[in-house]
Chains A and B, each alone.
Chain A
């Protein structure tokens, strides 16, 4: 029982961060219909940005080791959003949005090759610039826990860093939902996602909406990466380890659904942690994909996906 509750707690905390990570990718896919293979590497850049803001840019000196990491992480979001904005403007926009009409296979081949290329450049560029030495956003929170209990001879440990990560993650999720449902920007994003042609007729700049979505997606994933980095040491190739989780989460939640992506990520976190209760730990990640296949088998559109074809 104690093992079950502990795994559940760990799964929820990790799942929340995975969820946010997936939302970044889900937003880009939902609005732009571009599968961004470089997304894991944008997350890696987010981790390093948070790391350097924390250590080199004085955030640590100003806010200390407890609050500092989270300030640095939240600041890394906008930095990566600006970066994403320019990457879209300079590269992605050539193979997406209104340009796809003139490209083969609606631009999907070009998008695939371009984003894979960006991924390779970011990974190897990262190796040159940051080196292969592991980095981590060090905080005493990562090795201490809040102990719930003991009740009935059981006590559950909630890792402090992971708990705060999960709270920040949920807060980001709420902010994003408000942005999408309540603001003009959100409206233009939804319009561009639902029907780009009609949106254009209504005077919405679809390319600009795409750019905003890409920037937002990068920023959100950067924050998720930073949150992850409070516990998980990283290196320039860390994106590869998580990009699969992100895809699985987005597909699980339903392609194009943002809240779905969050629950997709959450499911992955839960399955990853809970599977160890009944399966050998070695199969932790295999379990994710077994559950993934099962869900896709019974619900091909994912949790929140829509069955209707886009017009």
Chain B
């Protein structure tokens, strides 16, 4: 077949074609072929890695939703993910949010923006544009501002600390026979960590009869953890609460603890947040130093997510499912449910649907329901405690989601 085919187009055919296209496009407008959902996360800079994992979770969910027939109330419209880079500073995140609402006018909802500090800035912009945003960020402030278009799927930092502390003390007491009395807090100064530490200082520690003997706040990323660990060494607390958001800080601290002879259970380290259980930790710290380290996170791949965890492994080579992946996966499903309920691809209607929805028990976030209170917080939101066991961080609490039994690192 080397001959050329000559195509002749008559004026009439051209007209017919053009008007046909016009009619078709009119029909499309009524029945959108795709509904755009935003994902505003850091995919460059210091936080690029967690943002990338969030994108993986979102992509998986969008593929699953589309494979199962898309949005049924919109005639099977497909979801389309629009990814925007929030960069590595609050300023950049805010700019990205402005770009998102200005350029992507047909977004119906979005998810973002990893760090609480970013989410706080981003939602200032999206709120004015009436764009509903689901977030996995922890800071209590996010839903304390009276905003109508922010929905916090994770338990707030304060609530997480409240849920976690009694569990940790119980665990320590059963394992070692005596109740821990003194505690050191080393926290970075990002939104979520500040919120958790604040809740602890302002009552939670006292409620749990813990005495705060070291209280240090640092700016990430640390260049070196010597000064922090020296203070822990001098004070010898029963427990160390460590709240990093940058993986390098987690590594520097754990290694320094080991170097100073405080590691591997000598001063049990309990972290808050996801950084210390990221797969990247294994690239930088040897598994022995991680063994037994506990961290309190809003969500984690747990019982019932086995198939998802397996898919994430094969598709993206992620060794396990972190909060970033599972929560963002869940966000897409919540947006889907809201679209089904709203019956139209309109951000205000989706916002209203989210505020009034009651979709029963939560599948992808720990405990509670898919229902938001008047502040935009998920009703009954639980949290998970994850522990490094043999090179893998596994969910050990709550019992109904646990994949393994917790143990207390002994010295």
Contact = CB atoms under 8 A, between A and B. Distances in A.
B267 to A, nearest CB: 15
Contact of A144 (B227, B230, B258): B258
B44 A3 contact: no
A7 B223 contact: no
B248 A143 contact: no
A241 B49 CA distance: 17
Contact of B284 (A140, A233, A273, A277): A233
Given A134-B247, A145-B260, A233-B251, A127 B48 contact: yes
A159 B43 CA distance: 33
A133 B258 contact: no
B283 interface: yes
B227 A281 contact: yes
Nearest to B52: A132
A241 B44 CA distance: 14
B258 A134 contact: no
Interface residues of B, number: 40
A285 B219 contact: yes
B46 A235 contact: yes
Contacts of A123: 44
Interface string A221-237: 00000000001111111
B227 A7 contact: yes
A10 B48 contact: no
Given A127-B48, A157-B260, A273-B226, A132 B43 contact: yes
Interface string B224-243: 10111011001000000000
A63 B223 CA distance: 28
Interface string B267-309: 0000000000000100111100100000000000000000000
A6 interface: yes
B63 interface: no
Interface in A264-311: 272-273, 276-277, 280-282, 284-285
A123 B258 CA distance: 33
A10 B227 CA distance: 9
Contacts of B217: 280-282
Contacts of A10: 224, 226-227
Contact of B226 (A7, A234, A285): A7
Interface in A1-25: 2-3, 6-7, 10, 14
B65 interface: no
A90 B51 CA distance: 35
26 contacts: A6-B226, A7-B226, A10-B226, A124-B44, A127-B44, A134-B284, A136-B283, A136-B284, A138-B284, A140-B286, A143-B258, A143-B285, A143-B286, A143-B289, A144-B259, A157-B259, A233-B248, A233-B280, A234-B248, A237-B45, A237-B88, A281-B218, A281-B219, A282-B218, A284-B223, A285-B219
Given A3-B230, A157-B260, A237-B48, 13 more contacts: A10-B224, A14-B223, A132-B48, A133-B49, A143-B255, A143-B256, A143-B259, A233-B247, A234-B248, A276-B227, A281-B217, A281-B228, A282-B217
